[in-house]
Amino acid sequence: MSPLVIAFLVLALLTCGSALAMLWTKNLLHAALAMFLTMLGLAGLYVLAFADMLAVAHLLVYVGGVLILILFGIMLTNQTDPATGKNHLMTRESNRLLPISVGLSFFLGLFWVFTKGPWVNNLPVTGGSKLREVGLGLLTEYAFPFELAGVFLLIALIGATFVAKKHD
């Protein structure tokens, strides 16, 4: 096995294991920590797929932005535990049988489709970092969607602050 495949296996194990931990735990804060590890592993997988720019953006956005937002959300919506008076972080679950069987069947179905798909072995190989091409493409061919995404982000953030403020 080449070192690239070993690195892939380690990162995939990190990603899948922490996703499984997210499913397993009932504690909201533990789930947020597991999501942090999942995002870390995913950024590594992006690097291995030669999308290094996306990997850095993913790290900045998810670890720096979304995770902090989730932690603030957890802190601002605390459910006081009547017994101890502290923040009650344990979430309730519905009946386990149906969701787990649906998830398992989705996984097996997707696995089967991906494995049997006609695209697997006949793709041309282009390697190496694509940072220069991505930058050029975002400012020339995809300049309009790029600006649109910026305006969309601005609108969404202003809208979020408006929705979150106290309405009397």
Partner 1 sequence: MTDIPVIYFLWVSAFLFAMGLTILLLKKNTIFVLMGIELILNAANLNLVAFSKNDPSMQGLYLSIFVLVVGVCEMAIALAIILQVYRNYRAIEVDQFKSEY
CB of 73 to partner 1, least distance (A): 5
Contacting residue, 10, 69, 139, 143, with partner 1 by CB under 8 A:
69
Contacts of 81 (CB under 8 A, 6+ apart): 87, 88
CB of 50 to partner 1, least distance (A): 6
From first CA to last CA, the distance across the chain in angstroms is: 63
- Report the Cα 4 to chain-centroid distance in Å: 22
CB of 81 to partner 1, least distance (A): 14
- Mask for 75-104, x = binds partner 1 (CB under 8 A): -xx-x-----------xxxx-x-xxx-xxx
Does 133 sit near partner 1 (CB under 8 A)? yes
- Mask for 26-45, x = binds partner 1 (CB under 8 A): --x--xx--x--xx--x--x
For residue 133, what are the CA distances in angstroms to 54, 92, 140, 141? Answer: 13, 47, 10, 11
In the numeric block, which tokens belong to residue 139?
């400012």
In the numeric block, which tokens belong to residue 13?
């194990």
CB of 139 to partner 1, least distance (A): 12
